[in-house]
Amino acid sequence: MEKFKSFNQIYLREKGPATRPWLIGLGLILLGILFLPWTQNIRSKGQITSLYQEQKPQKIYSPIAGKISRWWVKEGDFVEQGDTLAKISEIKAEYLDPKLILRTQEQLDAKKGTVEFYEQKVKATEDQIVNLRTSKTLKQDQLTNKITQLQQKITGERSELEAANNEYNLVKDQFERNSKMYKEGLISQTQFQQRNATMQNSLAKKTIAENKVNQTLQEIQNTKIELRGVDQEYSEKMNKAEGEKFQSLGMIETGKGDIAKLENQVSSYTIRDGMYYILAPQSGQVINAKKAGIGELLKDGEELLTVVPQNTNYAVEMYVRPVDLPLVSPGQEVRFIFDGFPAIIFAGGWPDQSFGTFPGKIRAVENNIDEKGMFRVIVVEDPKDKKWPKQIKMGAGAQGIALLNDVPLWYELWRNINGFPADFYTVKKDEK
């Protein structure tokens, strides 16, 4: 067995004392690994978009129904804001008249003239009504004063009539006595005739006084009738004037309605006239033209092409699950891998050390869930860190890694074994 002495010394020696230090060292290494830092994270796919609405690709639609009569651009061209892209010709019969705006404006001017005429007529009618009221009052005052004067006059005339009656009665008695005396021959014929003449004169005075009174009474009655006639006459004139006034006011209101309608038509026609030329709403590149050639018909609101802005403040929209929503907040760091840009990712808990990733900050977290059951998160470039590539384009894909708290590796293993969510205790502590 001497020949196996070396074998026995090499392979059959006691191994226990020699392996123990290795096992202890390995155990210490494993124990140390458990205390290595581990970055909790949330992974999500997203795409590049714009932070501002006006910087997003804008689809250009036909504002009116028509046909394409000319193109000024082709796909791939770069345009400035306000550049003419295409011209649309009219196809609706009601807009084909080249002088439509002019003719409508003439109608509008004519209607305004009509309204002005009736406004002047209303003013003239109002002045007429005022004059009629003044004339009526003046005429009534004149007739009333005349009646008063006639009443005063008839008072005097009645006094004269009474005196004439008294005188006539006295003369009449004397004449009757003289008539008996003449028959008895007591007085001469000459005296009798004188008494007769005196009686006739007295009768004439009486008759004249009676005629004056009757004439004045008739004049008073006629004046009262005239006074009533004045009221009726001027009431008819004023009613007629009022009727003309209200008729004119009605024409004015109708005219104003027509004016408003015509002004709206002129404005609409003018605006429509400016819609024949499609202008670039912003500077950018023309893509995705939907129509080609000349004479193609367009519907109202039909898509023509798209203009992609040149200068864009890019952002990334990514989506997180409802279970991860409490773990993300504005200002939180996110690492991105953009499509087309190589990257080396350290799996697990060291994404911030990965090569080829780009940093970002969460700008906003939407509170509304989408139709896919996800919440939208907007991430922007961190101005204090590495810049995003200039070659990225709108709509390109991006893989986001939202960085959470740094925890020991043993804690992460224990959390996963027990099924606890990431950063459970920290989030709860922050909420207090």
Q: Are 333 and 60 in contact (CB under 8 A)?
A: no
H or E element that contains 230: helix 189-273
Between residues 50 and 345, which one has the greater pLDDT? 50
Q: Are residues 77 and 108 located together in one domain of the fold?
A: no
pLDDT tens-digit map of 287-323? 888 887 788 888 888 899 999 888 888 899 999 888 7
Q: Are residues 297 and 235 located together in one domain of the fold?
A: no
Helix boundaries (H) for 274-359: none
Residue 84 bridge partners (DSSP): 279
* Rounded CA separation 118/263 (Å): 19
* Rounded CA separation 143/141 (Å): 6
Q: Are residues 191 and 257 located together in one domain of the fold?
A: yes
Q: Are residues 336 and 424 located together in one domain of the fold?
A: yes
Strands across the sheet containing 78-79 = 58-61, 303-309, 284-287, 78-79
Please count the structural domains in the chain. 3
pLDDT tens-digit map of 174-218? 777 777 776 777 777 777 677 778 778 878 888 888 888 888 888
Q: Are residues 246 and 111 located together in one domain of the fold?
A: yes
Q: Are residues 120 and 208 located together in one domain of the fold?
A: yes
Q: Are residues 135 and 262 located together in one domain of the fold?
A: yes
In a domain, 426, yes or no: yes
Query: What's the domain range around 392?
Result: 37-51+313-431
The model carries a pTM of: 0.55
Say whether pLDDT at 348 is over 60: no
Say whether pLDDT at 427 is over 70: no
In a domain, 31, yes or no: no
In a domain, 397, yes or no: yes
* Rounded CA separation 64/165 (Å): 105
Residue 409: give its domain's CATH number: 2.40.30.170
Q: Give the SS3 label for residue 147.
A: helix
pLDDT tens-digit map of 96-146? 888 888 999 999 999 999 999 999 999 999 898 899 888 888 988 888 898
* Rounded CA separation 29/19 (Å): 15
In a domain, 5, yes or no: no
Q: Are residues 181 and 70 located together in one domain of the fold?
A: no
Q: Which is nearest to 67 in space by CA: 301, 276, 274, 269?
A: 276
Q: Are residues 236 and 383 located together in one domain of the fold?
A: no
Q: Are residues 191 and 295 located together in one domain of the fold?
A: no
Secondary structure tally for the chain: helices H, strands E: 6, 14
Residue 75: give its domain's CATH number: 2.40.50.100
In a domain, 26, yes or no: no
In a domain, 162, yes or no: yes
Report which residue type is found at 387. K
Q: Are residues 109 and 258 located together in one domain of the fold?
A: yes
* Rounded CA separation 397/29 (Å): 40
Q: Which of 251, 273, 295 is the last residue of a domain?
A: 273
Q: Are residues 266 and 131 located together in one domain of the fold?
A: yes
Looking up tokens 């390995």 gives 26
Residue 237: give its domain's CATH number: 1.10.287.620
CA 405-410-416 angle, 5° bins: 75
Report the half-sphere exposure of 197 (CA within 13 A, side-chain side): 6
In a domain, 28, yes or no: no
List Cβ neighbours of 160 (8 Å cut-off, separation of 6 or more). Answer: 209, 212
In a domain, 417, yes or no: yes
List Cβ neighbours of 161 (8 Å cut-off, separation of 6 or more). Answer: 206, 209, 210, 212, 213
